[in-house]
Amino acid sequence: MRWTPFLIFAYLFTLAQTTLGHILMLDRLTIGPVGPDFIVLLAVFIAMYVRTAVDGMLAGWVLGTLIDLTTGGGAGTETRVGPMAVFFTLAVWLAFQVREAIYRERALPQMLLAGLFCLLTHTLWVGTQMLLAPQHVFWGGFSRLLMQVLLSAIYTGLLMPLVHFFLVPCRNWLLSAPPSRSHRARR
Protein backbone atom coordinates (compact mmCIF):
# COMPACT_ATOMS: atom_id res chain seq x y z
CA MET A 1 0.00 0.00 0.00
CA ARG A 2 1.37 3.41 -0.95
CA TRP A 3 0.16 5.68 1.77
CA THR A 4 0.97 9.09 0.27
CA PRO A 5 -0.99 8.51 -2.97
CA PHE A 6 -3.74 6.90 -0.91
CA LEU A 7 -4.03 9.95 1.37
CA ILE A 8 -4.15 12.23 -1.69
CA PHE A 9 -6.93 10.09 -3.18
CA ALA A 10 -8.76 10.00 0.15
CA TYR A 11 -8.63 13.80 0.37
CA LEU A 12 -9.80 14.28 -3.22
CA PHE A 13 -12.65 11.79 -2.87
CA THR A 14 -13.81 13.43 0.37
CA LEU A 15 -13.61 16.86 -1.24
CA ALA A 16 -15.63 15.61 -4.22
CA GLN A 17 -18.13 13.94 -1.90
CA THR A 18 -18.77 17.10 0.13
CA THR A 19 -18.97 19.48 -2.82
CA LEU A 20 -19.41 18.15 -6.37
CA GLY A 21 -21.09 15.01 -5.06
CA HIS A 22 -24.10 17.15 -4.21
CA ILE A 23 -24.72 17.66 -7.92
CA LEU A 24 -25.56 13.96 -8.19
CA MET A 25 -27.65 14.06 -5.02
CA LEU A 26 -31.41 13.78 -5.48
CA ASP A 27 -32.47 16.24 -2.81
CA ARG A 28 -36.05 17.01 -3.75
CA LEU A 29 -37.51 13.59 -2.92
CA THR A 30 -40.24 13.30 -0.29
CA ILE A 31 -38.23 10.81 1.76
CA GLY A 32 -35.23 13.16 1.89
CA PRO A 33 -31.98 13.39 -0.05
CA VAL A 34 -30.50 10.34 -1.73
CA GLY A 35 -26.96 10.37 -3.08
CA PRO A 36 -23.95 8.24 -3.94
CA ASP A 37 -21.05 7.74 -1.56
CA PHE A 38 -17.77 8.17 -3.44
CA ILE A 39 -15.74 7.30 -0.37
CA VAL A 40 -17.43 3.89 -0.23
CA LEU A 41 -16.44 3.39 -3.88
CA LEU A 42 -12.78 4.08 -3.06
CA ALA A 43 -12.93 1.78 -0.02
CA VAL A 44 -14.43 -1.05 -2.09
CA PHE A 45 -11.78 -0.59 -4.80
CA ILE A 46 -9.04 -0.80 -2.18
CA ALA A 47 -10.63 -3.85 -0.57
CA MET A 48 -10.70 -5.55 -3.97
CA TYR A 49 -7.03 -5.01 -4.82
CA VAL A 50 -5.05 -4.35 -1.61
CA ARG A 51 -2.31 -6.89 -0.80
CA THR A 52 -3.04 -7.50 2.87
CA ALA A 53 -6.22 -7.27 4.90
CA VAL A 54 -4.53 -5.15 7.58
CA ASP A 55 -3.49 -2.50 5.04
CA GLY A 56 -7.02 -2.46 3.68
CA MET A 57 -8.51 -2.11 7.16
CA LEU A 58 -6.14 0.75 7.94
CA ALA A 59 -7.21 2.48 4.73
CA GLY A 60 -10.83 1.79 5.67
CA TRP A 61 -10.26 3.42 9.05
CA VAL A 62 -8.85 6.55 7.38
CA LEU A 63 -11.78 6.79 4.95
CA GLY A 64 -14.36 6.15 7.67
CA THR A 65 -12.79 8.82 9.86
CA LEU A 66 -12.95 11.30 6.98
CA ILE A 67 -16.68 10.61 6.62
CA ASP A 68 -17.17 11.04 10.37
CA LEU A 69 -15.31 14.34 10.31
CA THR A 70 -17.24 15.73 7.36
CA THR A 71 -20.75 14.70 8.44
CA GLY A 72 -22.59 16.67 11.09
CA GLY A 73 -26.25 15.84 10.59
CA GLY A 74 -28.42 12.84 10.00
CA ALA A 75 -29.62 11.68 13.37
CA GLY A 76 -31.58 14.76 14.26
CA THR A 77 -28.72 16.06 16.35
CA GLU A 78 -24.98 16.61 16.16
CA THR A 79 -23.44 13.30 15.14
CA ARG A 80 -20.46 11.65 16.83
CA VAL A 81 -17.03 11.07 15.35
CA GLY A 82 -15.81 7.47 15.32
CA PRO A 83 -18.55 5.00 14.39
CA MET A 84 -17.99 5.11 10.64
CA ALA A 85 -14.23 4.53 11.12
CA VAL A 86 -14.99 1.29 12.99
CA PHE A 87 -17.65 0.17 10.48
CA PHE A 88 -15.43 0.90 7.48
CA THR A 89 -12.57 -1.05 9.07
CA LEU A 90 -14.83 -4.07 9.55
CA ALA A 91 -16.53 -3.72 6.17
CA VAL A 92 -13.20 -3.57 4.30
CA TRP A 93 -12.11 -6.75 6.12
CA LEU A 94 -15.40 -8.39 5.08
CA ALA A 95 -15.01 -7.27 1.46
CA PHE A 96 -11.39 -8.51 1.49
CA GLN A 97 -12.59 -11.96 2.60
CA VAL A 98 -15.24 -12.31 -0.13
CA ARG A 99 -13.23 -10.82 -3.01
CA GLU A 100 -11.79 -14.18 -4.09
CA ALA A 101 -15.30 -15.55 -4.53
CA ILE A 102 -16.30 -12.92 -7.10
CA TYR A 103 -15.16 -11.81 -10.52
CA ARG A 104 -13.60 -8.47 -9.65
CA GLU A 105 -13.35 -7.29 -13.25
CA ARG A 106 -17.09 -7.75 -13.92
CA ALA A 107 -19.52 -4.88 -13.43
CA LEU A 108 -22.30 -6.78 -11.64
CA PRO A 109 -20.19 -8.18 -8.76
CA GLN A 110 -18.61 -4.73 -8.34
CA MET A 111 -22.03 -3.14 -8.11
CA LEU A 112 -23.26 -5.73 -5.62
CA LEU A 113 -20.18 -5.43 -3.46
CA ALA A 114 -20.32 -1.62 -3.39
CA GLY A 115 -24.07 -1.60 -2.76
CA LEU A 116 -23.82 -4.07 0.12
CA PHE A 117 -20.80 -2.26 1.58
CA CYS A 118 -22.75 1.02 1.52
CA LEU A 119 -25.93 -0.56 2.88
CA LEU A 120 -24.07 -2.22 5.76
CA THR A 121 -21.94 0.73 6.84
CA HIS A 122 -24.63 3.38 6.44
CA THR A 123 -27.32 1.35 8.23
CA LEU A 124 -25.00 0.69 11.14
CA TRP A 125 -23.96 4.35 11.21
CA VAL A 126 -27.52 5.70 11.19
CA GLY A 127 -28.60 3.16 13.85
CA THR A 128 -25.62 3.90 16.11
CA GLN A 129 -26.00 7.67 15.82
CA MET A 130 -29.70 7.46 16.68
CA LEU A 131 -29.09 5.08 19.59
CA LEU A 132 -26.44 7.35 21.06
CA ALA A 133 -28.39 10.57 20.41
CA PRO A 134 -30.20 12.32 23.26
CA GLN A 135 -33.85 11.39 23.84
CA HIS A 136 -35.33 14.19 21.71
CA VAL A 137 -34.53 12.34 18.48
CA PHE A 138 -37.77 11.03 17.04
CA TRP A 139 -37.72 7.41 15.94
CA GLY A 140 -40.64 8.00 13.58
CA GLY A 141 -38.13 9.15 11.00
CA PHE A 142 -36.03 5.97 11.27
CA SER A 143 -37.95 4.05 8.61
CA ARG A 144 -37.61 7.04 6.28
CA LEU A 145 -33.87 7.12 6.97
CA LEU A 146 -33.59 3.40 6.21
CA MET A 147 -35.31 3.97 2.87
CA GLN A 148 -32.79 6.74 2.15
CA VAL A 149 -29.96 4.35 3.05
CA LEU A 150 -31.31 1.65 0.74
CA LEU A 151 -31.72 4.00 -2.23
CA SER A 152 -28.31 5.57 -1.61
CA ALA A 153 -26.74 2.09 -1.53
CA ILE A 154 -28.34 1.22 -4.88
CA TYR A 155 -27.20 4.55 -6.32
CA THR A 156 -23.65 3.98 -5.03
CA GLY A 157 -23.59 0.45 -6.41
CA LEU A 158 -24.63 1.66 -9.86
CA LEU A 159 -21.65 4.04 -9.99
CA MET A 160 -19.07 1.44 -8.93
CA PRO A 161 -18.16 0.14 -12.44
CA LEU A 162 -17.57 3.70 -13.65
CA VAL A 163 -15.29 4.60 -10.74
CA HIS A 164 -13.55 1.21 -11.05
CA PHE A 165 -12.89 1.99 -14.72
CA PHE A 166 -11.19 5.28 -13.81
CA LEU A 167 -9.28 3.88 -10.82
CA VAL A 168 -7.84 0.77 -12.52
CA PRO A 169 -5.11 2.74 -14.37
CA CYS A 170 -4.03 4.21 -11.01
CA ARG A 171 -4.01 0.82 -9.28
CA ASN A 172 -0.25 0.28 -9.21
CA TRP A 173 0.45 3.85 -8.19
CA LEU A 174 -2.14 3.64 -5.43
CA LEU A 175 -1.74 0.17 -4.03
CA SER A 176 1.54 -1.53 -4.99
CA ALA A 177 4.46 -1.02 -2.67
CA PRO A 178 7.67 -0.06 -4.49
CA PRO A 179 10.12 -2.96 -4.72
CA SER A 180 12.46 -3.11 -1.76
CA ARG A 181 16.23 -2.58 -2.06
CA SER A 182 16.99 -6.27 -1.41
CA HIS A 183 14.44 -7.27 -4.01
CA ARG A 184 16.05 -4.98 -6.61
CA ALA A 185 19.52 -6.33 -5.70
CA ARG A 186 18.34 -9.90 -6.27
CA ARG A 187 17.07 -8.90 -9.72
Count CB neighbours of 172 within 10 A.
Answer: 12
Nearest distance, CB of residue 165 and other proteins, angstroms: 22
Nearer to other proteins, 122 or 164 (CB): 122
Nearer to other proteins, 37 or 164 (CB): 37
Nearest distance, CB of residue 160 and other proteins, angstroms: 17
Nearest distance, CB of residue 86 and other proteins, angstroms: 5
Nearest distance, CB of residue 178 and other proteins, angstroms: 15
Q: Which residues pair with 34 in a beta bridge?
A: 26
- The answer to whether 130 and 142 are in contact (CB under 8 A) is yes
Rounded to the nearest 5 degrees, what angle is found at the Cα of 3, between the Cα atoms of 79 and 98?
Answer: 75
Nearest distance, CB of residue 78 and other proteins, angstroms: 4
Nearer to other proteins, 71 or 112 (CB): 71
Nearer to other proteins, 28 or 187 (CB): 28
Contacts of 158 (CB under 8 A, 6+ apart): 36, 111
Residues engaged in binding other proteins (CB under 8 A): 11, 14-23, 25, 27-35, 37, 39, 52, 54-55, 57-58, 61, 64-83, 85-86, 89, 122, 125-126, 128, 132, 136-138, 141, 144-145, 148-149, 152
Locate all alpha helices (DSSP H) within the chain, ordered by sequence: 3-18, 38-49, 53-69, 83-98, 107-132, 142-167, 171-175, 181-186
Count CB neighbours of 86 within 10 A.
Answer: 18
> What is the C-alpha end-to-end distance of the chain, expressed in Å?
22
Nearest distance, CB of residue 36 and other proteins, angstroms: 9
Nearer to other proteins, 130 or 174 (CB): 130
3-state secondary structure 76-105: CCCCCCCHHHHHHHHHHHHHHHHHHHCCCC
Nearer to other proteins, 37 or 109 (CB): 37
